[in-house]
Amino acid sequence: MRSLRFPFRCCAAVLFSLALHAEPVTALYLRGYAVIPTPRQVRLQPGDITLDEGWRLDAPSHRATTTLLAGLGLKLQGQGPSLRLRVQPGAVSTGAAPEIDRQAYRLRIDDTGIEITGNGDPGLFYGVQTLLQLAQDRRAPKGTIEDWPSMQLRFLHWDTKHHQDRVETLKRYLDWSARFKINAIGFELEDKFAYPSHPDIGAPGAFTPAQMQEIVDYGLERYIQVIPVIQAPAHFAYVLKHPRYAHLKADGNNYQSAMCDPRTYELIFSMFDDAIRTTRGVDYLFASTDEVYYAGIDCATPYNDQNRSLHWVDYVKKARDFVAARGRKMLVWAEYPLLAEHVKLLPPDIIDGVIGEPEYVETENRLGIRQLAYTSMQGSEFLFPNHLALDSTRGHLRGAAETISQGRVWQGKPIGAFGAAWDDSGLHNETFWLGWSTVAQYAWTPGVPSVEQHAAEFMRIYYGPRSVGMIEIYRDMQRQARAWESSWERVRSRVRASGYGNSYGKGIGTDRRDYTLPAPALPQGPDLAFSGSKYKDRAAGARSLALDNDRLVHALLDNFARVDRNAYNLEVFLALARFMGHHWRLIEGLAAAERSLESASKSKPEQAVGHMVSAYRTVDRLCREGLATFQELTAVYEKSRFPKGQSVDGRRFVHVLDDTKDHWADRTPDLGFMYAQEKSIGLDQWRKDLYKIVQEYAARHRVPVKGLGEARLEE
């Protein structure tokens, strides 16, 4: 038996830190079983049982029962061993707070049958989830498991600023969240909700109130609260971009609303009210307060550190009172511009979602403010997260495990953990599941198991035991994505103007950058002088990465026939892999085109024309391949989400850039921001220019042009 008991003491935190790196493989995993999260107490006995149609079910009418039958795929109407489900308060002695105690369960498996007993309804449901993970092939180990979480709330973050998932996609996310015993979703809505009091704020096709309640109810059936996150008063461009609300801009920028204008509170609180009315059954509302850099900049009081902090506090107090009057508890991001000396002014019943600065903790503890262990499962990286240790990067999994298990939150009064992940850089939510499962794992049993074992268990549970090489597929996706990022040149943006500023002040940190590459040089003059290669040095690295990409694509394709579930996840990975693979072929092809143009400068007219035509055809083919690859990526993404920036019923999406954040995804109203880097090279114009050079040179030397007849130049 192994038992973990909380809360921690200092020495325990040190032991957990060591456990993250040196924890022995758990007994269940050594027996060939995978469970996420790892159960707290496990007593295994020799042997296994096998579930079949001969078993009989002894269970109440309960969500756990329907989940069990659907997951097993068995009717359980025989006369053999029994599978018994019960709710019995106090069945498992936890010594924990009532909110945690209700989530406890006991799972007993022996020759007489299986018995799952929950201290409460959530506990019974979680016991069923554990059995379903153990019995993937209808086999389960004999023994007893007693289990309950260390943290009451285990949050995942759904960010929909730059895309809108389909309702069926969100239901699938809730199914998998439930499997990992997640019980809260921070649903960052922005304009993807049709606010009844302000219908112009919701983007075309935004979730209706009925759809929101449908999603919420689906979650509640699985003991998950889908909690609306309303970005305000900062990150408010989704509202302030509309002319109707322009008068509420703070200092004239789209980023933040004026905090000394009572109409700001009327607007934001009406949005709160809309969200509360259409998420019935939920206990919380996330009022954001994220990065309110310029609190009070519109006010009559002097604009300084003290007043910025006081205006922030004033907003939180008013928001808390509004939310509490409607029966909700409020979560906030307690951070800049809040000063430590003003923490004492905060309402004691709020939850600090990010456990801000270290100097906040003592006062929060004295007030009784609870905190979340905040960790980001994706930073600013493009295309694919840094989940795993790679080169000098330790990976988000280890960072999350350490933050949740023995980070600063344990100096406070933690109520849960929050696993953030953002869609600002083109990442599909399918790339987040390994990270999200890590938050579920360590919020339930901090420090156990090792990060390496957790990753291995995730691959078995999420894809099925027949999948192969998934850890290396993830590493290869990371390698490809990081190489893709670093292959571009960064230049002053031609798309975005200088931004408004950041937390250090107006006009600071506003130099926007674009990712681009130079177009190859063109032949010059009557002798086709070629000024030198821009891609020769890049080509060798691209060739090696293209080979690595080819192996990655084959590994993904091989797994389509092996995975038992979540094949769509592999579709997303494959589309991203092909998207990156095209990039390496493009670089190689541009180097080959340069070689052809250099040969043209040294050849007689007839051969020179042939070399130029070859260069043209190479680049033309790659441009068409790039567009096709992007279209494939778009089609795969849109299987689970609606077209970005869609128009619905005659309403057009209003596109605006964030004044302070350089979100890559807001650069275009549609998904075109992912293809924008390649377009910025200027190969369309390059082809037109080369086409003209070829025709003029061939006419001057009376040389026929062969191979350009099918060329289609864009106007």
pLDDT tens column, 105-123: 999 999 999 999 999 999 9
- Of 423, 450, 477, the residue at which a domain comes to its end is 450
> What pLDDT does residue 5 have?
30
Cα Rg, the chain, nearest whole Å: 29
Cβ within 8 Å of residue 644, ≥6 positions away = 162, 163, 665, 669, 670, 671
Report the run of H or E that residue 119 belongs to, with start and end.
none
> What pLDDT does residue 498 have?
77
Residues 231/240, Cβ–Cβ less than 8 Å: no
Residues 190/160, Cβ–Cβ less than 8 Å: yes
pLDDT tens-digit series, residues 254-300: 999 999 999 999 999 999 999 999 999 999 999 999 999 999 999 99
Neighbour count for residue 284 (Cβ, 10 Å): 20
Report the run of H or E that residue 1 belongs to, with start and end.
none
- Of 403, 432, 450, the residue at which a domain comes to its end is 450
From the centroid of its chain, how far is CA 151? 22
Is position 714 within any domain?
A: no
> What pLDDT does residue 707 have?
85
Angle between helices 167-179 and 433-444 (to 10 degrees): 40
CA distance 79 to 73: 18
203: domain range? 153-450
Judge if 200 and 136 occupy the same domain.
no
CA distance 655 to 634: 19
Is position 707 within any domain?
A: no
> What pLDDT does residue 391 have?
84
Q: Band the pLDDT of 21: cuts 50, 70, 90.
A: low
Report the candidate in 631, 603, 629 with the shortest Cα–Cα distance to residue 615: 603
Burial 93-107 (b: 16+ CB within 10 A, else e): ebebeeebbbbbbbb
Burial of residue 650, with CB atoms counted within 10 A of its CB: 0-12 exposed, 13-18 middle, 19 or more buried:
exposed
Mean pLDDT of the chain: 93
pLDDT tens-digit series, residues 473-519: 999 999 999 999 999 999 988 877 777 888 888 887 778 888 999 99
Judge if 651 and 508 occupy the same domain.
yes
CA distance 581 to 632: 13
> What pLDDT does residue 509 have?
77
Each as own residue / partner, the long-range contacts of residues 694-703 (CB below 8 Å, 24 or more positions apart, any chain) are 694/609, 694/612, 694/613, 694/616, 697/523, 697/528, 697/605, 697/608, 697/609, 697/612, 698/605, 698/609, 700/526, 701/605, 701/606, 701/609, 703/605, 703/606, 703/609
Neighbour count for residue 631 (Cβ, 10 Å): 12
Is the per-residue pLDDT at 148 higher than 90?
Answer: yes
Neighbour count for residue 675 (Cβ, 10 Å): 19
DSSP label at residue 652: P
Residue ranges of E strands in 122-197: 139-147, 153-159, 184-188
Residues 285/328, Cβ–Cβ less than 8 Å: yes
- Calculate the alpha carbon distances from 710 to 598, 616, 630, 707 in Å: 24, 12, 23, 7
Is the per-residue pLDDT at 19 higher than 80?
Answer: no
Report the run of H or E that residue 216 belongs to, with start and end.
helix 209-220
Q: Which two tokens stand for residue 577?
A: 């892999």
Q: What CATH number is attached to the domain comprising 140?
A: 3.30.379.10
Residue ranges of E strands in 559-679: none
Judge if 143 and 174 occupy the same domain.
no
What's the one-letter identity of residue 385? P
> What pLDDT does residue 190 have?
94
CA distance 582 to 622: 8
Judge if 183 and 304 occupy the same domain.
yes
Pairing of strands 113-118, 139-147: unpaired
Is position 571 within any domain?
A: yes
Neighbour count for residue 46 (Cβ, 10 Å): 8
Q: What CATH number is attached to the domain comprising 311?
A: 3.20.20.80
Judge if 571 and 647 occupy the same domain.
yes
Cis peptide before 337 (omega within 30 of 0): yes
Lowest mean per-residue pLDDT among 84-93, 125-134, 385-394, 404-413: 385-394
Is position 94 within any domain?
A: yes
Judge if 250 and 358 occupy the same domain.
yes
Judge if 289 and 410 occupy the same domain.
yes
Q: Band the pLDDT of 14: cuts 50, 70, 90.
A: very low
Q: Which two tokens stand for residue 575?
A: 């589309």
CA distance 652 to 642: 14
Judge if 305 and 258 occupy the same domain.
yes
- Region for 38 from its dihedrals, namely left if φ exceeds 0, alpha if ψ lies in -120 to 50, beta otherwise: beta
Q: In sequence order, what are the beta bridge partners of 371?
A: 352, 414
Residues 454/434, Cβ–Cβ less than 8 Å: no
Judge if 141 and 184 occupy the same domain.
no
Burial 490-500 (b: 16+ CB within 10 A, else e): eeebeebeebb
Q: In sequence order, what are the beta bridge partners of 147?
A: 105
Is position 668 within any domain?
A: yes
Judge if 123 and 267 occupy the same domain.
no
> What pLDDT does residue 15 have?
40
Q: Taking residues 166-176, what's their average pLDDT?
A: 98
Q: How many domains does the chain have?
A: 3
Lookup result for tokens 């022996």: 110
Report the run of H or E that residue 227 belongs to, with start and end.
strand 225-229
Lowest mean per-residue pLDDT among 10-24, 397-411, 631-645: 10-24
CA distance 502 to 499: 9
Judge if 277 and 342 occupy the same domain.
yes
pLDDT tens-digit series, residues 67-107: 999 999 999 999 999 999 999 999 999 999 999 999 999 99
- Calculate the alpha carbon distances from 540 to 173, 515, 596 in Å: 41, 21, 17
What's the one-letter identity of residue 298? D
Pairing of strands 249-250, 253-257: antiparallel
Residues 204/177, Cβ–Cβ less than 8 Å: no
Alpha helix ranges (H) inside 31-104:
63-72, 98-101
Is position 709 within any domain?
A: no
Pairing of strands 41-50, 253-257: unpaired
Lookup result for tokens 């019935």: 280
From the centroid of its chain, how far is CA 97? 31
Is position 27 within any domain?
A: no
Cβ within 8 Å of residue 238, ≥6 positions away = 161, 190, 191, 201, 203, 231
- Of 103, 128, 147, the residue at which a domain comes to its end is 147
Residues 377/419, Cβ–Cβ less than 8 Å: yes
pLDDT tens-digit series, residues 230-246: 999 999 999 999 999 99
Is position 706 within any domain?
A: no
Judge if 91 and 160 occupy the same domain.
no
Is the per-residue pLDDT at 711 higher than 80?
Answer: no
Q: Band the pLDDT of 392: cuts 50, 70, 90.
A: confident
